[in-house]
Structure 1
Amino acid sequence: MLDISPMLLGSTLIVFLVLIAVLNSLLYKPLFSYMEKRDADIKKDLEQVGNNDAEIAAFHAKAEKIVSDAKLEAAALREKVIAEAKMAANSKIEAKRAEMAQEYTKFEDALSEERARLKSGLLAEVPAFQAAVSAKLSQI
């Protein structure tokens, strides 16, 4: 049957306890310290990511402000350029209107002179026309 040897049982127990102590000091403690260090690093990285999110949000807000300021400045500049262009166009239009009015006045003057010249020319030829009409009427 089975005999239990106390000497063998004691030596096995001592070897087992020594093995546990050696494994604890050489394997388990370094493994646990590594795992704790890794957990601490992960927590620190997560906190940094949270901080980075805040920084990123701040940078996005700053970028949006810069873009909106640039848009406002561009709109103001565009309005200024449009106003200047309208003023330049209006001044050109007014200059052209004045030039056209002057040319129209010259044309009216030339037309009235031509009318007066034609009228005087016709009045000068009225006696000839009367003589021709009288000759025609006398022939009838």
Structure 2
Amino acid sequence: MSPHKDPHVIACANEVLSGFADLCRSLHHATILTDDGFEVASLADDVRQNGRVASMASSMQALGDAVAKDLRIGATEYIIIAATTGYVIQMRVPDNSMVLAAHFDAAETVGKALSVARLVATNMRTLISSEAA
């Protein structure tokens, strides 16, 4: 079953995302999506963007993976999109076909945002694995 249709995976994603904003106050939007662009769960200021963000983030992840493969530099760890008023960090959920895409405002340091995103992605993997056993 695809993760975006699996009630267990959706519940895990919602649980992980619910605590994300508490870890980093500058978070504006976070989505866990499948590699093929379907939203699993999301936490956002503007709910109208959710489906579009998942689709675009999936394409960005595929492009990043392709560049890393073509350059023979190993697997993509994360992608950062920097803009004037903030940035987006995308990170694969370890050992899964899902990606975390998170938008932070410019007040946050990239290091802290990256660290928190890594923690959330790892927690997602752990939660799925522990509850599936």
Same fold (TM over 0.5): no
- Normalized per residue, which structure has more helix? 1
Shorter-chain TM-score tier: under 0.3
State the TM-score, normalized to the length of structure 1: 0.19
Larger radius of gyration: 1
- TM-score (normalised: structure 2): 0.20
Q: More relative contact order in 1 or in 2 (CA 8 Å, sep 6+)?
A: 2
